[in-house]
C-alpha cells in the first residue's frame, strides 16, 4: 500500500509532462492536419475568344451520280474504290449499232456535200434557180446535223470522269442493258469539302463571311482543323430559327468524309488582355458567385474568398471582370471543401492550355 502511494504521484507527473510537450511541440502538426489539399491556377491577362458551338454536316464539293445518256449494254465498268482522273473512261457501252449509224450518216453527208458542190456552177450559169440551190444546201445541212448527232451518240457510249475522284458506288454491272438517264456509278472527290451548319438567329448580325471557325474531329479520333466561314446566310429558317453557314476547306488528308457530323466553334467575339478562369473554380451561394485565392500567412497558405463579376464564357473558361487581379493564385480544385481563412496545401499548379 505504501509503495502504490509513492508510485501514483510520479505517474501523474509523467503523464502531465508528456501532454505539455505534445501541446507545445506538435501544435504545428495539428494545423497541418487541418490543411485542405487544392490545385491552383495563376491568373494572367490573356486573349479570349467567345465562340458559338454548333454541329455541321460534311459533304464533298464534287460529288456526282453519273448516268447513261444513250442506250446500250455495258461492256466494261470501273471497280469501286478506283481513283480516276478527269476524262478517264469509266464505263464503255456496246457501240456497234451506234457505229453503224455514224457510218450511214457520214455517207449521207458526203453525198449531200458533193451534190451541193456540183450545183454551185449551175446556179452561177442560171441553169437552176436560187430556190432549188437553197433546197439542196438545206439537205446538206440536215445531213451534217444527223452526222453530228450520231457522232455524239458514239461519244456518249464511253462515259468518262467529269473530274478527278474516287468511285464510291456502282449501280450496274457488265452485261446489263442501260437506258438514257439510268445511274451507273457515283464519283466523289474529297480533296475539298463543304460543311453545312445552322447558327441560332440571335447571332445573325455578328457572324459573317471570313469569321474564324474551328472544326473538331474528336468524335472520330482526330484533332481540330482551322478554317473560316465562306458563306453566312441572311435568311432565317423558320422551322429551326437558325441561319445557314457554310465552310469550304481543303481535305487532302481525307479526314473529313461525306455525311460526317462535326462540332464547330464559330468565333463570335475576341477580347484582348482579360482574366479568365475555369468555370469549375466558381462557387455559387445565396449572394452570388465567388472564388478562392491563396494568401501567404507566414510559412502557411490560407484560402481567401473573393466576390467576382463574370463576363463572357466559352467552353470550360469564363472571363472575370471584377474581383480578381493579375497574378492571383486561384483555387481550381478543392474549392468546395474550403472556407474563408482555411489553411491549404497546394498539391500542384495548373497552366493555361
Other beta carbons within 10 Å of 164: 15
**For residues 212 and 229, what is the distance between their CA atoms, to the nearest angstrom?**
6
Pairing of strands 300-307, 288-297: antiparallel
Rg (CA), the chain: 42
What cell numbers appear for 8 in the block? Answer: 501514483
Nearest to 163 by CA among 182, 184, 191: 191
What cell numbers appear for 201 in the block? Answer: 438567329
Residues of the chain predicted below pLDDT 50:
1-25, 27, 31, 33
**For residues 328 and 275, what is the distance between their CA atoms, to the nearest angstrom?**
10
**Residue 229: its H or E element:** none
Asked whether 302 and 34 are in contact (CB, 8 A), the reply is: no
Q: Measured in whole angstroms, how far is the alpha carbon of residue 131 from the centre of its chain?
A: 69
Q: Which domains does the chain have, with CATH numbers?
A: 33-50+273-350 (2.40.420.20), 57-61+190-267 (2.40.30.170), 95-156 (1.10.287.470)
pLDDT of residue 169: 94
Question: What pLDDT digit, counting tens, does each position of 301-352 carry?
Answer: 999 999 999 988 887 889 999 999 999 999 999 888 888 999 999 988 888 7
pLDDT of residue 315: 78
Cα-based distances in Å from 222 to 14, 216, 264, 266: 70, 8, 14, 19
pLDDT of residue 9: 46
pLDDT > 70: percent of the chain = 90
Q: Any idea what DSSP says for residue 88?
A: -
pLDDT of residue 3: 46
Which residues lie below 8 Å from residue 129, measured CB to CB, with a gap of 6+? Answer: none
Q: Is the pTM of this model over 0.75?
A: no
Nearest to 75 by CA among 61, 86, 90: 90
Nearest to 287 by CA among 303, 304, 306, 311: 306
**For residues 70 and 159, what is the distance between their CA atoms, to the nearest angstrom?**
10
Which residues lie below 8 Å from residue 245, measured CB to CB, with a gap of 6+? Answer: 196, 197, 198, 199, 207, 229, 231, 232, 233, 266
Q: Which region holds residue 126: left if phi is over 0, alpha if psi is between -120 and 50, else beta?
A: left
Beta strands (DSSP E) in 205-316 are 212-216, 224-228, 231-232, 242-250, 261-278, 283-285, 288-297, 300-307, 309-314
Backbone angles phi, psi at 137, to 5 degrees: -65, -35
Burial of 279 (0-12, 13-18, 19+ CB in 10 A): middle
Amino acid at each position: 500500500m505504501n509503495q502504490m502511494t509513492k508510485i501514483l504521484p510520479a505517474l501523474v507527473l509523467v503523464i502531465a509532462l508528456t501532454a505539455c510537450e505534445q501541446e507545445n511541440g506538435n501544435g504545428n502538426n495539428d494545423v497541418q492536419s487541418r490543411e485542405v489539399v487544392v490545385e491552383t491556377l495563376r491568373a494572367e491577362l490573356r486573349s479570349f475568344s467567345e465562340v458559338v458551338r454548333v454541329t455541321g454536316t460534311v459533304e464533298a464539293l464534287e460529288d456526282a451520280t453519273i448516268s447513261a445518256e444513250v442506250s446500250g449494254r455495258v461492256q466494261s465498268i470501273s471497280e469501286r474504290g478506283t481513283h480516276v482522273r478527269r476524262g478517264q473512261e469509266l464505263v464503255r457501252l456496246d457501240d456497234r449499232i451506234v457505229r453503224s449509224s455514224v457510218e450511214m450518216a457520214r455517207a449521207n453527208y458526203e453525198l449531200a456535200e458533193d451534190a451541193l458542190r456540183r450545183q454551185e456552177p449551175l446556179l452561177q450559169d442560171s441553169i437552176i434557180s436560187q430556190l432549188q440551190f437553197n433546197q439542196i444546201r438545206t439537205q446538206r445541212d440536215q445531213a451534217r446535223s444527223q452526222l453530228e448527232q450520231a457522232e455524239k451518240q458514239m461519244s456518249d457510249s464511253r462515259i468518262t470522269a467529269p473530274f478527278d475522284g474516287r468511285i464510291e458506288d456502282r449501280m450496274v454491272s457488265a452485261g446489263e442493258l442501260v437506258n438514257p438517264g439510268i445511274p451507273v456509278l457515283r464519283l466523289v472527290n474529297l480533296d475539298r469539302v463543304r460543311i453545312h451548319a445552322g447558327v441560332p438567329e440571335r447571332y445573325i448580325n455578328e457572324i459573317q463571311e471570313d469569321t474564324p471557325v474551328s472544326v473538331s474531329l474528336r468524335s472520330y479520333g482526330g484533332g481540330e482543323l482551322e478554317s473560316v466561314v465562306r458563306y453566312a446566310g441572311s435568311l432565317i429558317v423558320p422551322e429551326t430559327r437558325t441561319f445557314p453557314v457554310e465552310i469550304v476547306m481543303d481535305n487532302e488528308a481525307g479526314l473529313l468524309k461525306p455525311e460526317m457530323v462535326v462540332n464547330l466553334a464559330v468565333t463570335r467575339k475576341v477580347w484582348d488582355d482579360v482574366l479568365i478562369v475555369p468555370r469549375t473554380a466558381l462557387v455559387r451561394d445565396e449572394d452570388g458567385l465567388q472564388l478562392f485565392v491563396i494568401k501567404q500567412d507566414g510559412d502557411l497558405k490560407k484560402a481567401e474568398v473573393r466576390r467576382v463579376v463574370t463576363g463572357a464564357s466559352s467552353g470550360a473558361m469564363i472571363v472575370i471582370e471584377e474581383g480578381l487581379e493579375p497574378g492571383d493564385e486561384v483555387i481550381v480544385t478543392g474549392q468546395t471543401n474550403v472556407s474563408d481563412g482555411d489553411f491549404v496545401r497546394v498539391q500542384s499548379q495548373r497552366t493555361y492550355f
